[in-house]
């Protein structure tokens, strides 16, 4: 997925302050490392143990 879109990493606290809806979504995708992408239309996000969130815009 990373080669097909634009990525940004943010702290989870930044998104919580903006009222990001972590339970919204219309699909999931697991990569080769068994990390789960949460898909919301043409965006996907992944949660890391470090408290960071990777958001990716898919083409």
Q: Domain locations in the chain?
A: 2-58
Spatial CA neighbour of 24 closest among 5, 39, 8, 36: 39
* pLDDT of 52 higher than 60: yes
pTM score, whole prediction: 0.77
Do residues 22 and 31 touch, judged by C-beta distance below 8 A?
Answer: no
Which pLDDT band holds residue 4 (cuts at 50, 70, 90)? Answer: low
Classified as helix, coil or strand, 54 is: strand
**Continuous segment of H or E residues that includes residue 15:** helix 12-17
Q: What pLDDT is recorded for position 59?
A: 74
The structure tokens listed for 16 are: 């919580």
Cα 24 from chain centroid? 11
Do residues 44 and 35 touch, judged by C-beta distance below 8 A?
Answer: no
Select the more confidently predicted residue: 5 or 18. 18
Q: What pLDDT is recorded for position 3?
A: 58
């Amino acid at each position: 997925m990373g080669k097909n879109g634009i990525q940004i990493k943010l702290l989870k606290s930044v998104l919580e302050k903006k009222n990001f809806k972590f339970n919204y979504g219309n699909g999931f995708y697991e990569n080769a490392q068994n990390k789960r992408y949460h898909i919301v239309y043409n965006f996907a996000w992944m949660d890391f143990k470090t408290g960071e969130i990777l958001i990716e815009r898919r083409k």
